[in-house]
Structure 1
Amino acid sequence: MKLIKAFALTLMASIPLLSAQSQAREAFPKSTVSLVIPFAAGGGADIIARLLAEGLEKEWGKPVIAVNKPGAGGQISMQYMAKAKPDGYTIGVTTSGTLAVNPTVYKEINYDSINAFEHVTILIEVPFVLVVDSKSKYKDLAGWVKHAQDNPDRVSLSNAGIGSHQYLAAHHFADTAKIKLNMIPYSGGPAMTADLLGGHLDAVFDNTMVQLPFITDGRVRALGVSTPERVAYLPSIPTLSEAGVQGYTESAWYGLVTPAGTPKHIVEAIRETATRVLNQPGVTKKLNDMGATVVASSSDAALQRVRDDMARFKKMVDLIGLQPL
């Protein structure tokens, strides 16, 4: 009887403690949150981050401040995030480039993509797309590939920068298609598109966020997107695999991390809130209009995506023979 009474008293005493712990967990965030962006203002990562920040702020009722920390292909931001306090109040926007490409192409990198962070979620995917000038005689991918096969090393294809995700993806595409192209790296999409429309390039390999406005206004013709299935905002455009380069899929992505050691319930609170924001019809439409598709993955899936992509990119680097940058 005494043991039962003692157990009951212990249980009753623990209830307030459990309740207090639960309330503490539900309180996040209590103050301003920083959302760290790895690139300069005005780019794709910046636009997406500020859209997310606005939604998080409305959900949480606390300020969410977007902070740009560009430099070294996103390395400055990632180094900052790796050293930040692991309390959830500093959240980093990541990309497939900063987390999965950089470790495979740079000689020295001062952060561990796997262990330096808690991987919160993959927010969105952005496919790549192969486009030609709308005045081009090539109406489909099969014809363009045949032209490239008949003219090895003479057909030009641009991509964004040596060592970038687009650079690796374009080389992977050429290898899968079994064609030899004159690969021309550019610093960014607008310059590539200008040269394409000026007749200086045969085709551009770029992400849909950059090329979607040119596709929708008819200045360029999309021959295929790099996703496994057609994307909702370009339903008439076949996948590259569907159009003839079988087995080829590739997409850039954007995600969120916090510093390693951030409590799991805070990581999950950030993930759940970000998912709610992304799935709001207005936000989803804005992202689709920009050329992005909502993913909103679990934390485990985000970490696995980084692992898988790092392994794939290492194979691509070896295939291309790219020397460490």
Structure 2
Amino acid sequence: MEPDSPSESAVTTCYRHPKVECHVRCTRCDRYICPDCMREAAVGHHCVECVREGARSVREARTAFGGRITTAPLVTYALIALNVLAYLAEVVRPEILDRFSILGAGLTGPDGGHYVWQDTYPVGFSPEGVVNGEWDRLLTGAFLHLPPTQGTFGILHIVMNMVTLWNVGRVVESQLGRSRYLALYGLSALGGSLLVLLLAPTTSTVGASGALFGVSAAYYVLARRLGADPRSVNRFMAGLLLWLVLSAAITSWQGHLGGLLTGSAVALAFAYAPRGGRRTLVQAGACVVLLAVLVLLAVGMASALKNGTA
């Protein structure tokens, strides 16, 4: 018998699996690929390496404000979970409310009770609040709510806030992306706490409303920037301002107003930052500057309270 000709004896194998015979080539790199390594393409098939290389060269889709497009509002879910867990914790241990609520300046008496701050306090009394270095109160208070013992509004407080966060937060997160949305929420919460510190330092305050007013303000700013129906967004803003006025009778209007102003400033920076490669840098810079201003104001107010000049 005559030996096989070279064309008949040549066997082509997959470049990744040398033991697997195959006859299909990648249309990009021209290497032989087996069925396990084939990836369908517009024309023919690609190998896994060419697919991976192509994915790196594809520009990632972004929202209108530069954030990554997300399919699930994970930050909103996480914030709701943190608020609910904090509420359950304060129900089990009511002392959490006293220790972590927003409080600029107060006194703890020898009997363990809480008293209004005085420039000079009697022997046996000790300062509490931000003036005592409890800076964490500026953020922790934004995750606490009125306990059930406060009557019907005690339950409604967290229910109303979480419903608002669910309805508005998901929309804003989808528009901004997770990191920008989280920055908005955190700065709005801090801004609300700061205005409480400035205008009502001896009042103990709790609630996510400051942060939610900031998120709601961002909803309005972003909707206007995207060209939404002005009548619809104006009605939304009118309702928000109406609630700000009505809330003065039952909750901390200072926290609401502070969150509204801070959230508006952050949203304006996000919405009107120039497009292009520097947009993220401009947005991040605006957040850092705003954070620095809020921190300096908090430190200055705390120092003034401690020295009796506020």
TM-score of the aligned structures, taking structure 2 as reference length: 0.27
Higher helix share: 2
Greater strand share, 1 or 2? 1
* Higher RCO structure (Cα 8 Å, ≥6 apart): 1
TM-score by length of 1: 0.26
